[in-house]
Structure 1
Amino acid sequence: MLKIGISSCFMYPDPARVVFGPKTLSYIENDMARYVAPKGVLPVLLPDLEEDLLDDILYEMDGFVFQGGTDLAPQSYGEKPIGKWHGDPQRDNYELKLLKKALNSGKPVLGICRGMQLMNVYFGGTLFQDTATQCQEVLEHRNAEAYDRVMHKVRFTSGKILSKIYSGCDGCHVNSIHHQSVKTLGKHLEVLAECPDDGIIEAIGYTKAPEGMVMGVQWHPEFSHTLGDRVIDAGKLYHHFLEQVKARKSDDL
């Protein structure tokens, strides 16, 4: 069975919360849990532990998924917050540490939404703190009411891995549930996809790893079932990731 480590989302102490109000909770959203756990895959939620304990757990993992959630804190990429966008510095510290260890392991890494933005920041890139107000002539990439029913076209970079996974997919759509996006691309990263209507970066890959081994997407494949065949097949992306995981694991045997 393949073991896939998944970064945690956090809920911090909140006296108004009925359950475990004064405690910090680590969690995974249920659609994500279902997406990363087809038959033969054991999803493992990775807690924020002491270094040596975390190392022991990560050693047992075959691949890593960094899930979406809260904004990255602007100070994590050397900027000051604008307006209300303060982000989640505690989660940033945890996930940046986790990503470093995952990359050093040489095992496959997939970042989803925030997870893609995290990769960009890790490699020295920056973000638009609020795409709608900081970018001109930009599409609506997030609508709180419509949520995972928002979609737009995606254009895959010719010759790169996503154009191969989604061969012949011209004018295809992805969902869109983000208000932050890549501003300056990090070192050793390349653009794998963008929104053709406004140029927002929709997928990135790490050029120092084998093709497709480390990449991130801005959309939420785990929510694609909401729009069905109106968006690209989310299973193809995860199938590719698992094939990378299997190949990497066989190299260790």
Structure 2
Amino acid sequence: MPAHRLKIGLSACFSHADPTRPLFTNKTLQYVEQSIAHWLMSAGAMVVMVPCPTGETARGDVKLSHYAEWLDGVVMHGGADVWPGSYGEEPLRDAWIGDRVRDLYDLAVVEAFVQAGKPIFGVCRGMQLINVAFGGTLYQDIEEQHGHPETLRHRDAETYDRNYHEVEIVQGSRLSHLYRGVLRGRVNSIHHQAVKRLAEGFAIEAWSLPDRVPEAMRRQGGSYIAATQWHPEFREEEANTLDDTPLLMDFMAACNAAKAHPPKPRHSLPGHLRDRAARLLRQALLMRR
């Protein structure tokens, strides 16, 4: 029955107003990528996009906190680069300027779900954004900044989701419990930014090989927050990549637990969470500035 299914939020991607676009000319689009919605639906969940409530066409009084109270969990999915200003840096190149408006929205979504005590799972940009939300920083570009003598090419525009590398799972972590007996796995790699300084209260659960870029992270204590740098929803069995099922089931179990025993909303947030996001978001228009 629909009433018994989990309701999982999915953060929105943005296509900003563009006067040259032939369809929806000069209109802001919010959308989700099909694969990740279907991934969540494969576990029987009802997937709901969480639209940004602010912008030049905003009406009504719906807030992100209303979604956080109503939904059982949220997934922060991939997309544009994170704006370096979100973690106190200047873009080193114009190409790495990212999407400031989406950052404000995503940070506010994380803030709302943390305050509601609901589970959060991040994918690719989602992992980077969660790290930034809790005070961490990013490599603006792995190849230019990471400095390992065997730095991998973590993003290939031609092969896209068929660009692969190995990861090493940190033994003793929750991830190693999910993948018992697995020391290494193969994953897709579609990013050029990555976690640099890890946020306080989190632990790395997987590293890329051989260059040791963070590939999975999890909050230690507090409400459930976990993330992977790879896209589990893009998995293809013939590519012999790490099974996505344990990750999905772990997140769903956390959402079921939150549904069965609703957490008490927090009236205050952890001091290291960038809790200015909702206030800034209310001031922001859905357009680049």
- Report the TM-score, using the length of structure 1 for normalisation: 0.94
1:101-116 residue pairs with structure 2 within 5 A?
101-116=112-127
Q: Which residue identity does 1:67 align to in structure 2?
A: H
1:252 counterpart SS class: coil
1:103-252 residue pairs with structure 2 within 5 A?
103-136=114-147, 137=149, 138-209=151-222, 213-225=224-236, 228-252=238-262
Q: Which residue of 1 aligns with 2:283?
A: none
User: How far apart in 2 are the matches of 1:34 and 1:16?
Assistant: 31
User: How far apart in 1 are the matches of 2:256 and 2:91?
Assistant: 41
1:153 counterpart SS class: strand
User: How far apart in 2 are the matches of 1:172 and 1:53?
Assistant: 40
Deviations 1:57-96 (A, max 9, x none): 2211001100000000000000000112101000000110
1:73-88 residue pairs with structure 2 within 5 A?
73-83=83-93, 84-88=95-99
**Would the aligned equivalents of 2:171 and 2:183 in 1 still touch at CA under 8 Å?**
no
Percent of pairs with identical residues: 40
Runs of 5+ unmatched residues, structure 2: 55-60, 264-289
Q: Which residue of 1 aligns with 2:25?
A: 21
User: How far apart in 2 are the matches of 1:228 and 1:65?
Assistant: 26
When structure 1 is superposed on structure 2, of 162-171 and 69-78 the one drifting more is: 162-171
Q: Which residue identity does 2:229 align to in structure 1?
A: Q
User: How far apart in 1 are the matches of 2:138 and 2:51?
Assistant: 26
Deviations 1:158-212 (A, max 9, x none): 11111111111223111100000011111111111111310100011111326xx
The alignment yields a C-alpha RMSD, in angstroms, of: 1.6
Does residue 44 (structure 1) correspond to residue 45 (structure 2)? The answer is no
User: How far apart in 1 are the matches of 2:226 and 2:177?
Assistant: 14
Distance apart, 1:157 and its partner CA: 1.1
- Report the TM-score, using the length of structure 2 for normalisation: 0.83
Distance apart, 1:236 and its partner CA: 1.6
2:39 counterpart SS class: helix
User: How far apart in 1 are the matches of 2:243 and 2:91?
Assistant: 36
Larger Rg: 2
Give every structure 1 segment of 4 or more consecutive aligned residues whose post-TM-superposition deviation is greater than 2 Å.
Answer: 50-58
- Candidates 38, 54, 65, aligned match of 2:75: 65
Distance apart, 1:224 and its partner CA: 1.1
More relative contact order in 1 or in 2 (CA 8 Å, sep 6+)? 2
User: How far apart in 2 are the matches of 1:124 and 1:252?
Assistant: 27
Q: Which residue identity does 2:260 align to in structure 1?
A: S
**Would the aligned equivalents of 2:20 and 2:26 in 1 still touch at CA under 8 Å?**
no
Distance apart, 1:16 and its partner CA: 2.5
Q: Which residue of 2 aligns with 1:53?
A: 63
**Would the aligned equivalents of 2:118 and 2:258 in 1 still touch at CA under 8 Å?**
yes
Q: Which residue identity does 2:192 align to in structure 1?
A: H
Q: Which residue of 2 aligns with 1:4?
A: 8
Number of matched pairs? 250
1:97 counterpart SS class: helix
